[in-house]
Structures are given as structure tokens and as C-alpha cells.
Structure 1
């Protein structure tokens, strides 16, 4: 990947309001913009964790999931491969992204493994030689992966050859006088008076800053290019989203979890659970950004990402996503709707019959007396101030935890509040 690649971006700025009105960009930059939707969430964590240009902490407590996987020993995972596969999640668009002038994906171009059995009908590939094929064999046969996958005549993820208008909230349209007039009118401008045109060189570091701003602001261009302080969307944490049409709640598949709540402020301090909840929580790491956004089911979380997803300028390559087969496990309630169209490669990521402690900010540790005592000491809470609840977590609650993890440091409290009805006082 050529990190030195630069794009020339023409940006219209309102100096009085310290705001980007819109940017005019070529198809190469817009291709990179759309490619961000294909990045797995775990990869986004790794890209942003050491990026110093971001002025605010991003991704709420979501990053703690990634850190928890890194801190756990291999023996807590069902196979030795799972830890590496969760820490370095792969997108099915890795090969497409090699056509981009700036590839943010960081894929190893030389690793592609298939099943060694000549008679195997599976056409699946893996970037990990410890993955099992659907036939049961290790996918250990290394092949030379293609440098690129052929793209259309227009680009990789765009559907037309044009320059584009990108608004501050990432609505992408083909460039035209009519589009510019509409953007200006919608924002209350009658002309160009008071607006200044600036030519920016945008490269790897600037795109990383923009990626981080997707999680903290509805005006990411202003935050990224004018270095304006971004604030999180905590005020938009509403009730858990309703399931989408066609989704069916399977009570038999819900995870039974024990949570401990502080009476004073109804904050969930931690949860005790089995591997079934862990398998669903850790699947957050392998979700492409677009899928993570679509699971949120509304526009109150990551609204500018939703604008990118809905752009009419996207081509078929960026709209047709799927997860690599080896991430689809039978013990995963969040992605249960995918099981019918995938080959299930395992029951889950974590060792069976194992208990874990999950803190409010999604730090996961295997259950032991030392981890529990340490957590209670850290919280500085009296035992008499704790209430215990036994709850069932299904797909709706998992989605709610996912939403909360992206924008807050209290994912369990914000994600499970609807299940924690205050216990009535017992008569004495």
C-alpha cells in the first residue's frame, strides 16, 4: 500500500461558522471513501488505536473487546486460530481494495489458503492456515492470491466516471450545478458570499482522521479538515431498536446472563456469562462497518455512515457484502439470520463450558475469584449496594449493546436498561 498517495480535494468553507459546506472530489478519493464501509470493525480499532491526529477518544468502549481478545490466552479459545482471526479480521473485499490508489485494508497479499483435498467441492478460501474447511480438513494449501480482482470501467466501488460532491455529513452525489445549488439552498446559502474555496492534499493520515470522525460527529469533514473538536452522540442513545421486519426472536436461542447492578444509580457493574454470549459479543469485531451500521436499524447512530451506505453512486461491488464463511458459527445470536446462506464452520469462538466476567465497559476476563474480587475492589462498591438479576439477552439486546459500545463507556448499562426493572421492596 502506497501511504504516500495524495488526493486533491477542493473544499468550500464557511469561515464565519468554521464549517465545511461540501467537498469536490474525484472518483479515486470517493472509491477510498466507500471502501471504508468494507473494513471490519476490529480492523478499524487497530487502525485508529495509535492515530495521534484524533483529538477525542473514539469508538466508546468497543475497543475494549479487541483489547480483551489480545489479553486472553489461547487456551480460552475453541481453537488456536480464533484469537488471531478475531484480532486480525478479514473482509471479503480485500482483493477488490488492491485496485484502490490508497488501500486502507492492510491485507497481506501473499496469504490465501484453500482445502488440500482435490475432491472437495468447497471453493472457500481463508487467510489463515488453521481454518477448517466445511469438509473438516485444515485449509492448509497455500495458493498465490491474485494481485487484484478486475473492477468495472468506472472504478472499484463507484458506479460512474465523474467527479463528485461530498457534503459535510457524507452524502455523495455526482457533480453537477443542480446538486451544488441544492446543497447551498438546503443550508441556507443564497450564493458564494462569505464562502472560501481551499485546495487540500488528502492522504493516508487524513483519511484515518476522517474514519475516526465517523464515530464522533455528524459533520466529519469539518472535524477532520478544520480540526474542529468533535463530541460524542451520547444524547442520542434512545431505547433499544426494534427488530427489522422479518426478524423473529427465538427465545430458545437467548443467552441467560447474570448481571449485578448498583442500587444507587442502576449502573450495571458487570455480567457473568457463558461462552454463548461471548461468541456474539466478539462477533462485533468481524462485522464490516456497513453491517454494523445497518444492524443499528436507525439513523441516530453513525448517521453519516448511513449516508455513505445509501449513496446512489455506489456500484454493485460495494453493496454485495458477506462475511468469510469461517466467521459464521452456530453459537452466534447476533448473526443468526446468516446461517441459512452460509456454511457453518464451528460452534463458536470460545472454549465450551467456560464462564467469563464482562464489565460495563466490555472488558472481558475468564471467571476466577481473583478477577471478580479485583473488579469489586476497583469499583469500590459495598456488597449491600448490589442487586443481582438473571436476564435473557436475545438479538435485540445484542444490537443495543453494539450501539452503546460505539458511543459510550457504559455499554451494558445503556444496552440492557430496558431489561432491568427495579425490584419492588420486600415487606418485612
Structure 2
């Protein structure tokens, strides 16, 4: 495979797809994928804008980023370091299982073996690995239980299972889609904008 990273480790994600509506109803996810979803909340906004601004970002945050970037330092307060705002340092990144990827400095990178978020050590991530989780199309996460499946009135005979791999490229696409749609999994893995 040319242009791909042979060292990249990917997460497997089982999607349950409504073939008639052509949308993801939910994904059966492991701890690693759920940790990734929750870590999206910890990425500084400037880091997201910096990474997505050249990849078709929607909205005006790219303009805010570019205006600060091009503003002459004569207009800034003496104690303001423009680079610390535009390129904040973070101790945690996108996917814990992708730690063997060599990423360029412009990328989000990957989780380090240990980090702190909200004063809590995230060495082991956010959630326990005591079972599987249900991740809805809008990235809402719930522990997978029979009662939950019944509550959502899921008719399994109308669903098709589709297993996908989530690597760094897919992680960035999930991040981008989460900023523009509530049908994140459908958009990323079925190529359908809802």
C-alpha cells in the first residue's frame, strides 16, 4: 500500500445499518473507540481549526484563526503569545491504540501512554472495559444492554452488520463530521450526508 503507514493500528467497529434508510442505527464499540469519542471533547478548539482549516471547514472559525494568525504583534497585548493560542500544546490526542503511528507535527497525533484531563489521569482512558458500548449515529454513548436495545425498539432483522476499521484518517473524519452533522457514523462510513 503506497502512501499508507504500515505501522498504523486500527480499531474495529461493528456498525448496525438500516439498509432501507441507508443509515447507521448504532455501532457496537469497544472501550478504545468510546475513549476516542470522549477524548474529542478535550481537544482545544484552535487545534481542531488548525487541522481542519485546509480540509473544507464549515463555519467562520477558520476566519477567526486566520485573522489572529495574520494580525501583527504590534496590535497584541505585550504578554500575549499568538502561537500559544493558535497551536496549544496538548498532552492527549486522538486514538489510544494508534500509538505506533509516526505522525507529522501538523497532525493531532495520538494518545501518550498517560495524560491528565480535568484533573483525572487518563492512563487507562475514560471508560471501563467491562463490556461493549452502544454508540448512536450522533455519537451518544451508552453501555450496551438488552434493555437498552429493547428501549430503542431495534428490529435486528432489518439491520445489516458492517465492520469498519477506524484509523487516524477515519478519526479525523469523525471529528470533522461531529462539527457539522448529527449523523456522524452514517456520514463517515456510508458516505451519506444527513
Query: Which of the pair has more CA radius of gyration?
Result: 1
Choose which of 207, 229, 252 in structure 1 pairs with 2:171. 207
> Which residue in 1 is equivalent to 2:132?
163
Matches within 5 A, 1:374-413: none
User: How big is the shift at 1:149?
Assistant: 4.0
- TM-superposition CA deviations, 1:159-191 (whole Å, max 9, x none): 4532211011222111222222223x1xxx4x2
Task: Tell me whether 1:101 sits opposite 2:70 in the alignment.
Answer: no
Matches within 5 A, 1:143-222: 148-149=114-115, 151=121, 155-159=124-128, 161-183=130-152, 185=153, 189=154, 191-222=155-186
- Ranges in structure 2 where 5+ consecutive residues have no aligned partner: 1-5, 100-106
Question: What TM-score do you get using the length of structure 2 for normalisation?
Answer: 0.78
- Asked if 2 retains the 8 angstrom alpha-carbon contact of 1:58 and 1:215, the reply is no
> Which residue in 2 is equivalent to 1:17?
21
**Residues in 2 aligned to 1:179 and 1:45: alpha-carbon distance in whole angstroms:** 36
Change (3 A) 1:77 1:152: closer
Task: Tell me whether 1:86 sits opposite 2:85 in the alignment.
Answer: yes
SS in 1 for 2:179: coil
- Asked if 2 retains the 8 angstrom alpha-carbon contact of 1:26 and 1:163, the reply is yes
> Which residue in 2 is equivalent to 1:41?
45
- Asked if 1 retains the 8 angstrom alpha-carbon contact of 2:15 and 2:161, the reply is yes
Change (3 A) 1:31 1:102: farther
- Asked if 2 retains the 8 angstrom alpha-carbon contact of 1:22 and 1:168, the reply is yes
> Which residue in 2 is equivalent to 1:229?
193
User: How big is the shift at 1:59?
Assistant: 3.8
Which has the higher relative contact order, 1 or 2, with Cα contacts under 8 A spaced 6 or more apart?
2
Change (3 A) 1:88 1:202: same
Question: What TM-score do you get using the length of structure 1 for normalisation?
Answer: 0.38
User: How big is the shift at 1:194?
Assistant: 2.7
